[in-house]
């Protein structure tokens, strides 16, 4: 299991998050879009996605995206690398929400 977050391009993160995370656009104020994360018809969080540039996204910003998606670094890496489907993401998210107080 990976203990470090992998650096991906901003375009790759943008594309994977938008395609795998059921969401609706919350706002486009400022330079980035903020999306609501929707699980079973309820908004359970929000995530700010980077613009689709070709440059590498910084490690600290990637950590913030992973935290907003309620994923460990290894889970985040799998989501962006395509090892994790959107369905699997929501299964993990639902388990985490049920186990939190």
- Give domain status of residue 45, yes or no: yes
- Give domain status of residue 84, yes or no: yes
- Give domain status of residue 95, yes or no: yes
Taking residues 53-78, report their average pLDDT.
94
Domain hosting residue 64, numbered range: 10-99
pLDDT confidence of residue 31: 75
- Give domain status of residue 49, yes or no: yes
Q: Is the pLDDT of residue 101 over 70?
A: no
- Give domain status of residue 3, yes or no: no
| Ranges 28-37, 58-67, 92-101: which has the least confidence | 28-37
Q: Are strands 33-39 and 23-27 parallel, antiparallel or unpaired?
A: antiparallel
Q: Which helix (H) or strand (E) holds 44?
A: strand 42-49
Taking residues 25-52, report their average pLDDT.
83
Backbone phi, psi, residue 38, to 5°: -115, 125
Q: How far apart are CA 20 and CA 71, in angstroms?
A: 13
Q: Specify the number of domains making up the chain.
A: 1
- Give domain status of residue 22, yes or no: yes
pLDDT confidence of residue 43: 87
pLDDT confidence of residue 42: 87
- Give domain status of residue 1, yes or no: no
pLDDT top residue among 100 and 76 = 76
- Give domain status of residue 30, yes or no: yes
């Amino acid at each position: 299991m990976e203990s470090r977050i992998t650096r991906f391009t901003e375009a790759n993160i943008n594309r994977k998050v938008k395609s795998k995370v059921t969401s609706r656009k919350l706002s486009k104020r400022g330079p980035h879009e903020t999306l609501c994360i929707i699980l079973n018809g309820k908004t359970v969080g929000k995530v700010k996605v980077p613009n689709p540039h070709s440059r590498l996204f910084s490690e600290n910003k990637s950590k913030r995206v992973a935290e907003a998606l309620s994923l460990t670094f290894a889970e985040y890496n799998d989501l962006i690398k395509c090892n994790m489907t959107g369905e699997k993401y929501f299964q993990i998210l639902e388990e985490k929400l049920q186990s939190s107080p």
